[in-house]
Structure 1
Amino acid sequence: MAKAKVAEVTVSLDAELVVEVMALAGVSSPQDAVEAVVRDYIARGHRTEARTGHRDLTPRETGNEPREQQG
């Protein structure tokens, strides 16, 4: 059986951030480090959904959006 082609995405990240993730993950490849973090984040979400039986479908606030001034 042939292996399916997986779509790939290229992302630019701050080098210091990637080096820190590489050290924490104990890997020598930036690609492997970022992939490990993404896979861990997804697995955590699945574990949370399994425990709560709830899936949050609302968009998450990233903190990068401009906030409306209140007052």
Structure 2
Amino acid sequence: MAKVTVSLDADLAIEVMLLAGTKSPQDAVELVVRDFLATRRRTEARTGDAADESRLAAPQAPVQEG
């Protein structure tokens, strides 16, 4: 897998490490990103995504003319 280098503010990196319970900022950020992606997939599985918008829209009453 390809590696990417990202610069973060030291305070942000420390906060993420504390929340994730890791000793490495790299591991902490990786855990947070993986959790974010997993949560998004679970949410889409339960609620649908943009492609499902027409299915989820409330039906409109027919327009009465005359």
Report the TM-score, using the length of structure 1 for normalisation: 0.67
- The structure 1 segments of at least 4 consecutive aligned residues displaced by more than 3 Å after TM superposition are none
- CA–CA distance in structure 2, aligned partners of residues 55 and 43 of structure 1: 18
Q: 2:23 is matched with which residue: 25, 28, 32?
A: 28
C-alpha spacing 1:7/1:55, structure 2 compared with 1 (3 Å): farther
Where does the alignment leave 5 or more consecutive residues of structure 2 unmatched? 52-66
- Tell me, yes or no, if structure 1 residue 38 matches structure 2 residue 33: yes
- Comparing both structures, which one devotes a greater share of its residues to helix? 2
Who is 2:4 aligned against? 9
Tell me the percent identity. 67
How far off is 1:31 after superposition? 0.5
Where does the alignment leave 5 or more consecutive residues of structure 1 unmatched? 1-5, 57-71
Report the TM-score, using the length of structure 2 for normalisation: 0.72
